[in-house]
Structure 1
């Protein structure tokens, strides 16, 4: 998890439909743009923005028909009839489209999620341009307009160079000794700047009605701890060291000094990596995030970093308990404060500070940041145009404010009503499947149904919009605006610690193309931007919508019963509600699903990790089965004609595969296989259907066909 001054939100991030990709190429330190919490230092030059007293002026209507990026939808012309559905279902549905739609030069993947993101960005661009042009704007119109205007002023950003963060670098240069370094880290967090570890609020695992503080591992620049040790990542490590040296040179070091310091920084991060959990470990054992301790016990564990002083520096009373997650990591950081030379700490902190803010500094910094994180690490051919990068930044800093504008033009009441109906139908189908499970005892089944009854669906946008009063921005400096927003967001998050959980709050903005399940609230959330083709289409037949958004709804519901979600009860507490025999039966079935996905891959050196992706594979399998059941109920007593030669059951599965038509850059695919809890799209298109007899029936597949699993090879869980 990135070192950010915001809440972990780890569970939501690991149970979304698709991996949320940080527009900063996932570089730690600072702006966790995917969840809207950021670094900060305050330069306040304007009067407070009062959103209650000064509502945003009405935005112009955006004509969705004029968007340049065409939506993806199930089309008979895309089907490759030379490939048998029972042999290669992904190829049958998607191969023609994939061959005709390579990854654009400013992206690392191309498919429905990214296409809808592009369409969302086009709408947002029109909205923010209008807001920025308003004379005398107030409230969120002013906030959004200021960030847009200063972000788009490339000449001013280039003229400023590194000056906006020079005061921070001067502080780092003056650090001497463990106490001074620890004090700097704490003071930086008070401004919203996260170094070395992650810190923020999240519900208490044992009492999910109250937020507590969590401190967790962070501080690494590479995507996963294994990048520091595995021989297959040796070339990436070499490129990363060269990148560190280049960043330090841009920050003012001469070549020889930068080269020596880069080696020290890499050794520093490697030492952190040795005591860090891997992506797989964190994805498959959520308990690693929960280690409740008293502040006194935490101080004893990390004698060179006093948590009592840290809480005081944040303006917080020392809590009776907080979660010091991954305690061995924090213990090692404390040791490093004592035995790592101050000069090495300075080099590490200087690199982290500059690299984390490079995307928002002058072109030389932004380009170097992209060269490594975008081009080298993920295979992106060219940097996104400035307008997209600035919009991504706005989404990170004040995404919900922009989301309010977005839903006014891009999400109809009719769409929300239809979604509510679909959620109800899927919920009914899930209840029936739980009731009819043969392998589960009545005792466990009763608790599963209690959890089912307490699901909270959220559709489109929040019922209560966040108040941005007090955030101050100007037309003077892009970085200063981001720092002000970061501090504001940090304080907003700190205020949650020790307080009741706000169940109206969303962890994704309405314009985000994704969905998620939050086990600590037992809620399923569907932002407005995903409610478009191929997922959802008001004009489409039921088969298409149930195979698209219906399966998405089922997917998120099943996350409540996947290998990690099933460890939380109906109230969102971390509590076992299974009999011992039922848990053993569940684990036997999930183990066979792990084995299935371990067989998928791109040759022997690029295999899918069935354990890393288990939760998402459980959700796909169960969600698709539930959606199919709901479709059958919707089609009851109806005569439904074929469309383009395909019946409703075929179109159901075909649209499921359409959702997963994705091209990857090779480098991006390698990173995802190592770190992403979602399997590559091709295997999601085929994995769940191959376990469902309904798929074989729909396409006339026979035992022995690659898309048909039978006997012990077939997995049925929920």
Structure 2
């Protein structure tokens, strides 16, 4: 068994050692001259992380310059300056995005910050399991403070956990944060001050580089009000302790083994049920990939991305778009006016395949061999400065939100783009030489899924140009909501872990994407057969059976209970098992393909099956 994994799944097993290192091998031995301009940075990042002897000798000293800045924040104004400085924890966060009111330009948003234990439910849920988590977390906080050389660690840990618990109580839940009407609230300076007067918004925004924006989207609005009250009521010293702990925790992998082991023991063993930590060389690869992802991606594309994959993928996308058009046109519950807008949005989809047209230039990223903590801080600042450099210019639609070597895909509602990185164009998702049934059932359903996000409960609130605006008639929206509510209710009934159910409202958007993706991919596959002839029986399986099996195999995975619990609390995706069985039981063609009858475990009466797109 993979004892160092939280989740076992083919889609996550694509290894970057093909690009960077083999086990225990110096980077130079795989020919860094072929890795382009980032070769030395690759090597220095990796070597700094892998030099455990040097890390042990340094002890907690690498934290000292950052702790000194925290110690110097002796009042609430200075604290807020650090809150908006890259690398330091904050109860509120600010960042940029395409403006929902005009996606051609950038805007700024403010919202609630993160918590050390992860989702708010870890602090709030009742039961012995969560009591165990909270007890272990408090011990972890104390240990990290002790290792960092902070005096009176026990009392400080109590105050830190109490602070985070107070913040958790007022934060919005993941379900609340999916409500775009509530989240996207633009406010001017007067509105921000009225909403959360305990924060110095001009200071927070100017420190982050956003002083020039008169209007800011205040997401999690009521949470910001309450977090401001907590900020005002909490002593400066407690905020300093909290920031030190969060920094030490985030830096643990670059610190001596005692830090690293304590962090794994809590987040890996206790929360995720992971028996063993991943080998350090594997984590080193992940570090390089996470820090210089597009530089790694450029190498990946040169070595592992055949041009024929892009051409075949383009053909599949065109076929799925045509099938979606037919299904929207034939839709029985949507009126003509809304259909016209939906078809315009579908036609405006901008598909991107493989890799960006230009890669991020990392030449100005200062990687210092022997300074892994500093490298992480500088990498964060590099990305922030890169983001700031784009302000004042039209939104760059060539930017990618994933690297080419990422085995995934995504839809961006503000740009109306669907993106398929190079790494997903391989088995079990895609093979240009594979049986059509398999490609349509796997990558076809994923293409349909991403298209479906343009018409899910969130994506449907953005127009063809990416603007956040209503293009639905009231009758069409009501009919849509009735169907999505039925799907949400189905998923609410699933209980992967005793006492922990799937949250239908949290996973609704992904479930809509999955259902629409499968049904549209199947329709496209039927059209393919009409043009190319009926699929043969292969291995005793019909084409339709292979289609659904390919869909199931694409999501085949096994999660440890702790990792599954974390996903159920915070992840908008349903567990893989229910992404398959919870979806296909709504698809009429699946019943025909496998002869599913009343009394079978997954059988749903025709009237109980949900069909949206």
Same fold (TM over 0.5): yes
C-alpha distance in structure 1 between counterparts of 2:29 and 2:381, whole Å: 23
Does the residue aligned with 2:96 lie in a helix, a strand or coil? strand
Report what 2:240 is aligned to.
Answer: 346
- How many residues end up aligned between the 2 structures? 608
Residue 442 (structure 2) pairs with residue 545 (structure 1)? no
1:414 is displaced (CA, Å) by: 0.9
**Residue in 1 that maps onto 2:159:** 264
Residues 132 and 655 (structure 1 numbering): CA distance in 2 closer, same or farther, change over 3 Å? closer
Name the residue aligned to 2:179: 285
Query: Which of residues 17, 41, 55 is equivalent to 1:157?
Result: 55
Post-superposition Cα deviations, 1:501-541, rounded to whole Å, max 9, x if no partner, equal 11000000011111111111111111111111111122310
Aligned equivalent of 1:669, options 536, 555, 564: 564
What residue number does 1:321 align with?
Answer: 215
Residues 113-152 of structure 1 aligned to structure 2 (within 5 Å): 113-116=11-14, 119-125=15-21, 129-130=27-28, 134=32, 139-152=37-50
* Partner residue in 2 for 1:252: 149
1:386-401 to 2 correspondences below 5 Å: 386-401=280-295
Does residue 210 (structure 1) correspond to residue 105 (structure 2)? The answer is yes
How far apart are residue 327 of structure 1 and its match? 2.7
**TM-superposed deviation, 1:137:** 9.2
For residue 635 of structure 1, give the secondary structure of its aligned residue in structure 2.
helix
Matching residue of 1:27 = none
Q: Structure 1 residues 132, 246: CA separation in 2 closer, same or farther (over 3 Å shift)?
A: farther
Structure 1 residues 130 and 414: alpha-carbon distance in aligned structure 2, compared to 1, 3 A threshold? farther
Task: Report if aligned partners of 1:132, 1:148 keep a CA contact under 8 Å in 2.
Answer: no
Shift of 1:467: 2.1
Deviation string 1:332-390 (CA, Å, 9 cap, x unpaired) is 34333432122211211111111111122221111111111111111111111112212
Q: Secondary structure at the match of 1:274?
A: helix
**Aligned positions of 1:109-508 closer than 5 A:** 109-116=7-14, 119-125=15-21, 129-130=27-28, 134=32, 139-186=37-84, 189=85, 191-232=86-127, 233-254=130-151, 257-282=152-177, 284-508=178-402
Classify the secondary structure of the residue corresponding to 1:203: strand
1:587 deviates by 0.7
1:582 is matched with which residue?
476
1:434-456 Cα offsets, whole Å, 9 max, x none, are 01101110011000001000001
**Distance in 1 between residues matched to 2:29 and 2:297, nearest whole Å:** 13
Contact 1:131 1:144 in 2 (8 A): no
| 8 A contact 2:437–2:525 mirrored in 1 | yes
Q: 1:476 to 1:431 in 2, by over 3 A?
A: same
How far apart are residue 138 of structure 1 and its match?
Answer: 7.6
Question: Residues 654 and 290 from structure 1, CA distance in 2 versus in 1: closer, same or farther, beyond 3 angstroms?
Answer: same
Deviates more, 1:623-632 or 1:107-116: 107-116
User: After superposition, what is the alpha-carbon deviation per residue over 1:406-450, rounded to whole angstroms, capped at 9, x for unaligned?
Assistant: 111111001111111111111111111101101110011000001
Report 1 or 2 for greater relative contact order, CA contacts < 8 Å, sequence distance ≥ 6: 1
Change beyond 3 A, Cα 1:107–1:158: same
Maintained 8 Å contact 2:83/2:92: no
Judge which range, 303-312 or 142-151, deviates more.
303-312
Which residue in 1 is equivalent to 2:414? 520
Structure-2 change in CA distance of 1:239 and 1:166 (3 Å): same
Q: TM-score, normalised by structure 2?
A: 0.95
Matches of 1:370 and 1:518, distance apart in 2:
33
Matches of 2:100 and 2:427, distance apart in 1: 37
CA distance in 1, matches of 2:143, 2:149: 10
Deviation at residue 546 of structure 1 after TM alignment? 0.6
Q: Structure 1 residues 135, 399: closer, same or farther in 2, change over 3 A?
A: closer
1:617 and 2:511 correspond:
yes
* In 1, Cα distance between equivalents of 2:115 and 2:208: 23
CA distance in 2, matches of 1:326, 1:240: 26
In structure 2, do the counterparts of structure 1 residues 312 and 572 end up closer, same or farther at CA, with 3 Å as the change threshold? Answer: same
Does 444-453 or 680-689 show the bigger shift? Answer: 680-689
Q: Aligned-pair distance for 1:613?
A: 1.0
Structure 2 gaps of 5+ residues are none
- SS of aligned partner of 2:217: strand
Seen in structure 2, the aligned counterparts of structure 1 residues 194 and 401 have a Cα distance that, compared at 3 Å, is: farther
SS at match of 1:561: coil
- Specify whether residues 352 and 462 from structure 1 end up closer, same or farther in structure 2 by C-alpha distance, changes over 3 A only: same
| CA shift digits 1:38-85 (9 cap, x unpaired) | xxxxxxxxxxxxxxxxxxxxxxxxxxxxxxxxxxxxxxxxxxxxxxxx
Corresponding position of 1:83: none
CA contact (8 A) 1:461 1:509 kept: yes
1:317 deviates by: 3.7
Larger deviation: 177-186 or 266-275?
177-186
3-state SS of 2:213 partner: coil
Distance 1:574 1:128 in 2: 50
Which residue is 1:532 aligned to? 426
Q: In the TM superposition, what is the alpha-carbon distance from 1:122 to its structure 2 partner?
A: 4.2
Give distance in 2, aligned partners of 1:353 and 1:123: 30
Q: In 2, distance between residues paired with 1:642 and 1:678?
A: 33
